[in-house]
Chains A and B, each alone.
Chain A
Amino acid sequence: DTGVSQDPRHKITKRGQNVTFRCDPISEHNRLYWYRQTLGQGPEFLTYFQNEAQLEKSRLLSDRFSAERPKGSFSTLEIQRTEQGDSAMYLCASSTGASPLHFGNGTRLTVT
C-alpha cells in the first residue's frame, strides 16, 4: 500500500491556460473521488468513479472541468480556460467502496 499519489503538488498557471492533474489511487481500490478545497473550507465533492465509470458529477464541475479514469486505474482532472476562482487545493481519494476514503496530499492550483 503506497498510498494515493497526486501530481503535481503545486501548479501555477496564468488565467486562460489549461491544466491537468493526475491521481494514482491505491491499487486495489475501485472507487476514485475528486474534491476541491478552498482555504478554511471543507472539501467539496466534484465527482467519483467506480472503476472507469464516472457515476456522479457535482454541479460545481462546470463544462470547463473534465475528469477521466480510462482504464479504471489512474485518473486525470483537466480544467480548461482557467479562472482565478479555480485557485484551490484539488484532492483525490480512493476506496474499495466498503471502506473510508484514503486521500492524497493534493495539488495546489494558483491561477494568476
Chain B
Amino acid sequence: SQQGEEDPQALSIQEGENATMNCSYKTSINNLQWYRQNSGRGLVHLILIRSNEREKHSGRLRVTLDTSKKSSSLLITASRAADTASYFCATDSGGYQKVTFGTGTKLQVIP
C-alpha cells in the first residue's frame, strides 16, 4: 500500500518557472525523502528532511515539512527541461526499514 499521496498527479510548466508538488502521508514518520525517476529508470534520491526539521534546501530544491498536517512540499526553482521526470515522496518510521513511497507527481518542463 502507498503511504503518501502526491498532488498534483501531473504538472506541466515552462522552462524557468518554479514547480511545486505536495505530499501527504498517513502515519508518524522519522524522516521524509524525495526521489526522482526518469522514464524507465530507477529512482534517485534528491533530499531528506527529518521529522524535527521544517525546511531544507539543496541547490534549486526546497523542501518543507509540516508534521502537524502530515504533509510536505517540494519546490524546484528555475526549472529546466532536464527536470522532466516523476517525483515521489517516501517515508519510514525509523532506521530506513520499511520505506514506503507515494503515488508520484509527473513533471513536464517545456523548453
User: With A and B bound together, what is the CA distance between A42 and B100 in angstroms?
Assistant: 9
> How many B residues touch A, CB cutoff 8 Å?
25
Number of CB contacts from chain A to chain B under 8 A: 63
Chain A residues closer than 8 Å to B98, beta-carbon distance: 45, 48, 56
Among listed A64-72, A73-81, A94-102, interface-contacting one: A94-102
Residues A45 and B96 in contact, CB atoms below 8 Å apart: no
Residues A44 and B42 in contact, CB atoms below 8 Å apart: no
A2 at the interface (CB under 8 A from B): no
User: With A and B bound together, what is the CA distance between A107 and B33 in angstroms?
Assistant: 23
User: With A and B bound together, what is the CA distance between A44 and B1 in angstroms?
Assistant: 6
- 1/0 contact string of A26-55 vs chain B (CB within 8 Å): 000001010100001111110010000001
Interface positions of A (Cβ within 8 A of B): 4, 31, 33, 35, 40-45, 48, 55-56, 91, 93, 95, 97-106, 108
